[in-house]
């Protein structure tokens, strides 16, 4: 791992403490710190008065201890003097009220005033800091996103209207694309089209475009800062810290497109390990061939949860490395005495003393550092499978009133989890990604499919690729509206079938189930029967089923009751050298879901990894195999490969792992 | 059934599609469509520029296919150009913020500007459309009501003050009637009396009058449109579509008083069948001797619930006819591609193709149409029982903080359900209805009883009528204030007893049940013992019990524990030729409740219908008996009457019904 | 008991009724009534026009019936004419909207206009009423507090800034004390420091100071009224009615400091009896050596709960007397016909008739009155134990995001409950109280400890006092910020140990427990083992445990698993003649908690009371012992002391009590 680091707030603790901290850091093999993130007032206590001496001295001092710096623009926290003097920099909520000073991310990202000041401090800071050789990278702002909701100020409204104009040209075209004919929704003036305020039930197209606009504004802000930093400090990497696994508010693919590294703030202790591994696979996939960094993770407890077992930090750090991370940063060096995060535990105690957490970080980082040279050129894990993840579909589901049962992100995470349990590595990628290297592409509920991506899938299948498509596939257009013909658009030939309609399986229809008495709806299950891989299989479908007619495909399974009894439930269609398998249900029961996935994996020739208990991972990077136990029970894992243990115990093809243990085997 | 129809949005789908649709409609026996409802922008894309050619052509084309039209005023959806030019047309929420454009019913019903434009489009449209002979009726607006809450703009405040002035004359009189002496609530200027904003705890009288005012404003708007339409198109019926079973926000009795038909949007799939039948009985009772229409019902799923079983649509349509409906309209012809309701399923798919739902509607409507002439002069079902339903009491319960356990509408629905299970038809009517034709009148928790209605009840009982009064009877005045003497006001003689006070049976009083530890209150049950119809009976009372003293009546049952031990629980009092039975409890347990109702029915000489399983209905209209199975199990029903099956199988006095089956027997 | 009374609203019921009411009151031994509370409009129907004749006549009439009066300033309910003419008197919510007229406590306590009018009516009223000899006391306003949230108007903002300036002197000092260095929170102008609006995540220091300011504003308002009343009516007592047990919004210690009596509105029926007794002990402790009054309690049901058993009123009244109350007032004389509290049951029915509740009050008050002379000089209950209750710590817990599991008030109540179950009386007192008379002082989770209070504790222990400190002790400073060294500040020597850090035991860290999947955190328990009083004991710790190092103390118990395995869990340290016992956990399981408390009580030489079932109390005042059964089961209680029954049955050392029975034994 290239960087072992932590976030550090010298502006808070004072210059006098830096040398002490630097020594403690080095003793813990910390070689990189992230600083400056929220320090705007300490860099510019009054408008135009810059006080960067303390920062120069801190960076120099760190440099003298051999510590590199990721310098941050402090723009997530505009100072009180700024928001007081320029109230238009503050975010306006959906209810029309303006944020007051006091938290963070209280700014309006579209505000010209905010952008002017943000550009100014970025410019001053990057010109000044570029002179330090140990400043190796820049982080823009911090966790870009709507921490207190999106802005609805008049400036945002105008920008939204301009953005729509750029997108649609004329109001008439917007009306046509949004299909505004219902409920008299036609617009006649750009001025009347406003951002979704969450308090009126607007068109799903309007909601979707509002989401797109806000995401774009944040990305645009990042791009403008990027240009300044690149100009002033061309040798440094430029990035920002995203959130994950899938951060739903900003299109991470657009955000990181022009940045140098994909960074994820991944607090292992607050999610299941399958979700964490999904996050790592997603961020690793953002910049193919590049690397990703874990920019924040906990050494203790986020907010006030219990800190992990002392060996869990190590298991997570190794997992981070196994999945391809080039850096592992702890948030944060020392627990803050005050403020909103005073209970979030740093590596050091509030008192500045090293105690339990310091020891855990130190022991782990020393081990990782000791193997740095040996492992420096490891290739990334190789994925035969890709799961397609799409912000348009995600926002489309959020924008229409449906989707409460179809948990789009949940479907992606569950698909990932099924592969994770098989120790199969996958990439999680957006539409438009080069599919060339994959054997199997999975489309969980990809409701919106563009003509271009349909063409990519066609080419992929023609050349022998396999596709597993689950549920609602290609039934809506890019504005979240249904196509006026049966689905899927652009690729009915690949499916060998048409989606004529469908039904959600939430039921109010029993004579005793009532809206007015208590809103108790029940979930209906629909029986499914058929043959997969030569075996009779049966199970049930849930949440949504499709009204399918065949047009060239073969029904492997059919619905066995309800209105669609006898209609296709799982359709296979071979095109060129490849194959498409479509499940005409949002979800299947676990057993059937496993059977379908196994069928797809087998047909595509994807091999399983070694069998392990849940949350015991086996990940390969070239000649090195990582076996990581994320559970509290010791475990023995049989690996097919020969090799010897670089870390841990590996004998006679068996890795022996204690609770939260790690074994690294080199062939 | 006179009209078999659906809602249709030609402005959305375009003129080119109308002929195709009309042919498909005719093939499904659809003879009437409802159009224009939300088409304001397509009728008037700019202020004063009318584009009605498409509408004329559509109506003509429909006429040529033999399809009648219910034309709608499009006023539920004022266009963006209107609300942008005249912001005072938009509703202001209780928190003072104004709605933005984007949903529907975003208008302020009191706004002079809105009313001017609403009158203008209504005038233009009705003058233009009156020339079409196939336009047979008008629907005003759509589902009048506070879809996004009631308006609190300054215009509404002024109108409210004017309305209060008309009601009370002087501020002093308002103070007296509202009894403002507590908490310094006296007003000294009309200007200071404002609508309940839901954010301050105002007097219950103020809440009640706020509700009355808002309801009245909507009715007033409907009346002003009615006058215009009647003037321009005197031959057409005028109505609007209500909601039900009991729509709590608008006084439906006042709304439909001057309209020609009582219409209900009744989505059978979202309520229990007993609630649906309550709805039909309510709307049938609104215009006694007249008819009612079911103006919206689903062929598929509302929002995204599961569509009903294919035969349920038929069972519902027959039930609608059995209960007296003259029209049955499906919402809507085709699933919308876009907008807020894009998941609500129409008869046709999004693609415009007829599939499962089209077939269900077609088969059912063909059957109903084939029997239209045979059944055209059937009398309405005859009801021996009336349940009294009162908006003043409903709003009274909502306005004071009590009533959370006394679920007033729930009591009405449960009373109906007990009769529905006995296959006894009842009318559900407001105070003031002519009680002449009934044997038994039931008053569930009628907290507010006017002097006039007390006189009606007295006359009814004098002539031999029976009354069953449950719970809190006549204890508050028309301003939701307690009478300063024991209840019931105006009719203590009829009760033969006085309600000295009472207690709610929510308990905080155990030494271990605590407000501050967790707000866990328990419901207490109080034992009741006594004799009904010569038999010893016992059970428990719930939610509220009365502190009763006898003044002429006889205690049939008494409380057997708690503070009122030994006091009357059920009191019988005979006056003239009739009888009043009062239950001094908000609720009894099911067994005791059944026993009391049976006693009242028997004493009044009301005969039960045939015995059937729950949700299997037997309804009579003159010589025709309808047997309808709303369950998924086949069932055999014995009828006393001779006759032969017009629909289904009826042999040797037994109707044989499949799941969701229908049998219609003619004597 | 000196006063037996009730709240009375003659302005509501009218002068004609007063004589009737007075006779009924006297018959029920009611000798004092509280009037005027909400009568502002009836005292001053227009600005400057006073109508006090009815009040003079009422007071005279009451006087003629031998009834004393507690007169109230009516300022909780400013009239509509006032708030309409001076909108700046109305409270502004956190979202910037202003309250409208209609409830109570809708005023801004900082408003100069409100204060001017409030002073004016207080002045007029007290000048006028001072002439009545039967006006014996004054109540200021009513239940001072933020009934609809605190005010955020610009006037409050300015006053807050002035208050901060007085507290900190300079903005730089505020920045230093709040430690604003994180998230760029530094302020550069007082103008930018605003009250916590609850919609932004501000610093915990800012939240804490907002709470302090608002509390102080209310106290300041009370003080300004006090000065006026004292000037005009020097012979009368001045007080106000607090709420409890611990009212979290106003510092009750500051509020009552300058008042003559500590008054509590204590509705026995809505809390558990252990909470009620906590409330009585708290209010008794507010003015040491003085007396306290129970100013409101129910005779029936608050809002719409079930009224208590007829004998419970008596048990509560006796408990009130046993705990030291000098007055017992019922809220209220008669059930209101109208308004927000129309369901709250008075002594009389709505009709004005005496029924069940009147009889219960009458019988109880007659009994209490008959013993008045005999019991007039009883000393207060003597407490060997003090529990420390601190508003700074309470608000500190509320102000930072932690504290959801550490229920600070809950800890105090549970500590009280453990003593209550042992029939040990304790005082519940703020830091700064003279500890001289106690044997044991308990500090439940006293997170903030000032240098002065640490000195008090040191002196107390030196002289032989015992301290039981539970959980987070002295780890934060007075601005809710952690000390930058291990805790506890100022008294590590007393503890004999240092709190290096700690962990909250909410766990997200299992690989299957997830934030993103469903926020299901589990509570972890940590094993504790050791020796208390020579016996091996074990159990578990919950919610939070401390990372403890010994510095002179002795670990009696240690943690037996998790990260702190082997570290001290319970530390004993002897200093001078005394002893400190520190439990390094927020909570222990019940058994262990009992064992620790017993150890502390035994070591301190505190003797248990007689053993009784839960909610059967034994309380001593001098030579009189009160035995009160708050349960529905009869019970026999053995007392050590000899004596004879003044009330109830006491034979051969045994008190025999029926359900809710009372026995009073005099030695």
A365 and A313 assigned to the same domain: yes
- DSSP secondary structure string for all residues of B536-588: EEEEEEEEEEEEEEESS-EEEEEE-SSTTTTSEEEEEEEETTEEEEEE-EEEE
> How many Å apart are CA A566 and CA B356, to the nearest integer?
13
Using pLDDT thresholds of 50, 70 and 90, give the confidence band for residue A515.
very low
**In terms of residues, how long is chain A?**
667
pLDDT at A244: 83
Q: Which residue of B has its CA nearest to A196?
A: B102
Contact in structure between C329 and C342 (CB atoms under 8 Å): no
* Averaged pLDDT score across all residues of chain A: 95
- What is the Cβ-side half-sphere exposure of residue C162, based on CA atoms within 13 angstroms? 10
pLDDT tens profile C457-513: 999 999 999 999 999 999 999 999 999 999 999 999 999 999 999 999 988 766 655
User: CA C631 → CA B261, B511, C315, C615, distances in Å?
Assistant: 61, 7, 10, 6
Q: Which residue of C has its CA nearest to A339?
A: C203
A138 and A234 assigned to the same domain: yes
| Residues in chain C within 8 Å Cβ distance of B194 | 100-102
Q: CB within 8 A of B4, min separation 6: which ones?
A: B29, B30, B31, B32, B327, B328, B365, B368, B369
Q: Which residue of C has its CA nearest to A343?
A: C402
A401 and A363 assigned to the same domain: no
Q: Cβ of C275 and B514 within 8 Å?
A: yes
Nearest C-alpha of chain A: how many angstroms from B479? Answer: 28
pLDDT tens profile C587-607: 999 999 999 999 999 999 999
Mutate to test the interface with C, among B205, B208, B500, B501 (most CBs of C within 10 A): B501
B301 and B332 assigned to the same domain: yes
Give yes or no for residue C316 having a pLDDT over 90: yes
Residue A203 falls inside a structural domain: no
Q: Which residue of B has its CA nearest to A401?
A: B340
> How many Å apart are CA A387 and CA A385, to the nearest integer?
7
| Residues in chain B within 8 Å Cβ distance of C80 | 184-189, 192-193
Q: Which CATH number does the domain housing residue A642 bear? A: 2.60.40
The domain of A249 spans 3-85+109-145+227-370
Nearest C-alpha of chain C: how many angstroms from B562? Answer: 7
Beta strands C526-532 and C554-559 are antiparallel
Nearest C-alpha of chain C: how many angstroms from A73? Answer: 12
Is the omega angle on the peptide bond into residue B572 within 30 degrees of 0, that is, cis? no
The domain boundary, picked from A344, A370, A396, lies at A370
Q: Cβ of B350 and A189 within 8 Å?
A: no
Mutate to test the interface with B, among C76, C100, C147 (most CBs of B within 10 A): C100
Nearest C-alpha of chain A: how many angstroms from C81? Answer: 29
Element (H, E) at A318: helix A312-322
Q: Tell me the backbone φ, ψ of residue B112, rounded to 5 degrees.
A: -65, -40
> How many Cβ atoms from other residues are within 10 Å of residue A154's Cβ?
10
Q: Which of B204, B508, B547 sits opposite C338 (nearest CB)?
A: B204
Residue B378 falls inside a structural domain: no
| Residues in chain A within 8 Å Cβ distance of C203 | 102, 338-340
pLDDT at A526: 97
Residue B199 falls inside a structural domain: yes
| Residues in chain C within 8 Å Cβ distance of B178 | 338
Give yes or no for residue C521 having a pLDDT over 90: no
Give yes or no for residue A634 having a pLDDT over 60: yes
Residue A518 falls inside a structural domain: yes
The subunits that touch chain B, with at least 3 C-beta pairs less than 8 Å apart, are A, C
B344 and B421 assigned to the same domain: no
Q: Which of A182, A512, A564 sits opposite B9 (nearest CB)?
A: A182
pLDDT tens profile C32-44: 999 999 999 999 9
Nearest C-alpha of chain C: how many angstroms from A258? Answer: 27
Here the tokens at position B73 are 């005023």
Query: In DSSP terms, which residues pair with B644 in a beta bridge?
Result: B666
Q: Which residue of C has its CA nearest to A338?
A: C481
Contact in structure between C471 and C459 (CB atoms under 8 Å): no
Q: Which CATH number does the domain housing residue A504 bear? A: 3.40.50.880
Residue B47 falls inside a structural domain: yes
Here the tokens at position A503 are 């039904």
pLDDT tens profile C205-252: 999 999 999 999 999 999 999 999 999 999 999 999 999 899 999 999
Catalytic residue (choose from B11, B37, B44, B143): B143
Q: Cβ of A305 and C524 within 8 Å?
A: no
Residue B611 falls inside a structural domain: no
- DSSP secondary structure string for all residues of A180-215: TTGGG---SSGGG-----SSS---HHHHHHHHHHHH
Nearest C-alpha of chain A: how many angstroms from B238? Answer: 22
Here the tokens at position A390 are 């799409």
A357 and A390 assigned to the same domain: no
B506 and B537 assigned to the same domain: yes
Residue A646 falls inside a structural domain: yes
A480 and A597 assigned to the same domain: yes
The subunits that touch chain A, with at least 3 C-beta pairs less than 8 Å apart, are B, C
Q: Cβ of A194 and B309 within 8 Å?
A: no
Total tally of structural domains belonging to chain A: 3
pLDDT tens profile C247-299: 999 999 999 999 999 999 999 988 889 999 999 999 999 998 778 999 999 99
Catalytic residue (choose from B11, B37, B254, B296): B296
pLDDT at A516: 47
**Known catalytic residue at B47:** no
Contact in structure between C48 and C85 (CB atoms under 8 Å): no
pLDDT tens profile A440-477: 999 999 999 999 999 999 999 999 999 999 999 999 99
Q: Cβ of B343 and A400 within 8 Å?
A: yes
Here the tokens at position A303 are 């907010």
The domain boundary, picked from B604, B631, B652, lies at B604
pLDDT tens profile A53-92: 999 999 999 999 999 999 999 999 999 999 999 999 999 9
Residue A159 falls inside a structural domain: no
> How many Å apart are CA C502 and CA C485, to the nearest integer?
13
Q: Which of B95, B196, B503 sits opposite C306 (nearest CB)?
A: B503
Q: Which residues of A does the annotation mark as catalytic?
A: 143, 296
Q: Which of A287-296, B199-208, C400-409, C546-555 has the highest mean pLDDT?
A: C546-555
Task: For the full predicted model, state whether its pTM sits above 0.90.
Answer: yes
Q: Which residue of A has its CA nearest to B12?
A: A181
Low pLDDT (below 70) residues in chain B: 402-403, 509-520
| Percent of chain C with pLDDT strictly greater than 70 | 98
> Which of C294, C240, C300 is CA-nearest to residue C270?
C300
ipTM of the complex: 0.94
B342 and B392 assigned to the same domain: no
Element (H, E) at A124: helix A112-129
Mutate to test the interface with B, among A96, A156, A182, A478 (most CBs of B within 10 A): A182
Q: Which of C39, C106, C338 sits opposite B481 (nearest CB)?
A: C338
Give yes or no for residue A11 having a pLDDT over 90: yes
CA A393 to chain centre: 15
B498 and B575 assigned to the same domain: yes
Q: Cβ of A500 and B351 within 8 Å?
A: yes
**In terms of residues, how long is chain C?**
667
The domain boundary, picked from B581, B604, B627, lies at B604
The subunits that touch chain C, with at least 3 C-beta pairs less than 8 Å apart, are A, B
pLDDT at C563: 94
Using pLDDT thresholds of 50, 70 and 90, give the confidence band for residue A517.
very low
Environment class of C131 (CB within 10 Å of its CB; exposed 0-12, middle 13-18, buried 19+)? exposed
A501 and A568 assigned to the same domain: yes
Q: Cβ of C186 and A79 within 8 Å?
A: yes
pLDDT tens profile C107-143: 999 999 999 999 999 999 999 999 999 999 999 999 9
Q: Which CATH number does the domain housing residue B265 bear? A: 3.20.20.80
Would the CA dihedral through A137, A140, A145, A147 be positive or negative? positive
| Residues in chain B within 8 Å Cβ distance of A508 | 269-271, 302, 305-306
B62 and B208 assigned to the same domain: yes
């Amino acid at each position: 791992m290239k960087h072992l680091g932590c976030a550090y707030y010298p502006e808070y603790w004072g210059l006098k403490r830096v040398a002490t901290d630097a020594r403690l850091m080095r003793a813990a093999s910390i070689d990189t710190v992230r600083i400056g993130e929220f320090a705007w007032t300490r860099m510019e206590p009054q408008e135009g008065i810059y006080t960067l001496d303390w920062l120069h001295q801190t960076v120099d001092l760190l440099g003298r201890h051999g510590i590199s710096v990721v310098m941050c623009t402090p723009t997530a926290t505009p100072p009180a003097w700024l928001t007081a003097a320029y109230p238009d920099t503050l975010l306006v909520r959906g209810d029309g009220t303006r944020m007051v000073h006091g938290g963070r991310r209280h700014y309006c990202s579209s505000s010209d005033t905010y952008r002017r000041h943000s550009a100014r401090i970025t410019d001053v800071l990057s010109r000044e800091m570029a002179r330090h050789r140990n400043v190796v990278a820049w982080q823009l702002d911090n966790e870009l996103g709507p921490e207190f909701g999106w802005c609805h100020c008049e400036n945002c409204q105008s920008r939204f209207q301009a953005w729509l104009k750029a997108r649609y040209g004329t109001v008439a075209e917007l009306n046509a694309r949004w299909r505004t004919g219902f409920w008299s929704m036609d617009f006649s003036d750009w001025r009347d089209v406003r951002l979704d305020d969450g308090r009126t039930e607007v068109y799903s197209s309007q909601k979707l475009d509002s989401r797109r606009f806000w995401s774009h504004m944040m990305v645009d802000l990042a791009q403008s800062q990027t240009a300044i930093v690149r100009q002033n400090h061309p040798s440094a990497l430029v990035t920002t810290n995203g959130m994950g696994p899938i951060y739903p508010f900003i299109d991470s693919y657009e955000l990181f497109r022009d940045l140098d590294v994909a960074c994820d703030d991944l607090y292992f202790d607050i999610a299941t390990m399958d979700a964490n591994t999904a996050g790592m696979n997603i961020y690793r996939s953002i910049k193919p061939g590049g690397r990703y960094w874990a920019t924040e993770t906990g050494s203790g407890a986020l907010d006030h949860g219990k800190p992990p077992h002392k060996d869990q930090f190590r298991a997570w750090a190794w997992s981070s490395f196994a999945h391809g991370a080039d850096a592992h940063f702890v948030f944060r060096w020392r627990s803050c005495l005050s403020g909103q995060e005073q209970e979030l535990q740093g590596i050091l105690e509030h008192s500045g003393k090293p105690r339990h957490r310091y020891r855990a970080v130190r022991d782990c980082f020393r081990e990782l550092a000791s193997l740095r040279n040996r492992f420096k050129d490891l290739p990334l894990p190789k994925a035969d499978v890709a799961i397609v993840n799409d912000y348009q579909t995600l926002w489309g589901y959020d924008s229409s009133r449906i989707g409460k049962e179809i948990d789009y992100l949940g479907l992606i995470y569950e698909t990932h989890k099924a592969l994770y349990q098989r120790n199969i590595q996958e990439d999680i990628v957006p539409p438009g990604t080069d599919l060339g290297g994959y054997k199997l592409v999975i489309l969980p509920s990809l409701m919106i499919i563009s003509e271009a991506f349909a063409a990519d899938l066609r080419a992929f299948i023609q050349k022998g690729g396999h596709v597993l498509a689950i549920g609602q596939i290609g039934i809506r257009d890019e504005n979240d509206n249904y196509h006026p013909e049966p689905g899927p658009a652009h690729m009915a030939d690949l499916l060998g079938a048409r989606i004529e309609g469908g039904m959600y399986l939430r039921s109010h229809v029993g004579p005793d189930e009532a809206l007015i008495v208590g809103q108790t709806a029940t979930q209906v299950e629909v029986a499914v029967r058929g043959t997969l891989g030569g075996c009779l299989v049966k199970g049930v479908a849930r949440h949504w089923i499709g009204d399918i007619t065949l047009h060239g495909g073969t029904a492997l399974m059919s619905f066995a009751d309800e209105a669609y009894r006898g209609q296709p439930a799982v359709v296979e269609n071979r095109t060129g050298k490849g194959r498409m398998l479509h499940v005409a249900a949002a979800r299947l029961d676990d057993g059937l879901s496993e059977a379908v996935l196994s069928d797809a994996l087998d047909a595509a020739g994807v091999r399983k990894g070694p069998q392990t208990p849940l949350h015991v991972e086996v990940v390969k990077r070239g000649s090195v195999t990582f076996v990581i136990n994320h559970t509290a029970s010791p475990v023995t894992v049989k690996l097919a490969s020969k090799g010897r243990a670089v870390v841990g115990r590996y004998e006679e093809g068996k890795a022996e792992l204690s609770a939260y243990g790690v074994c690294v085997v080199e062939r």
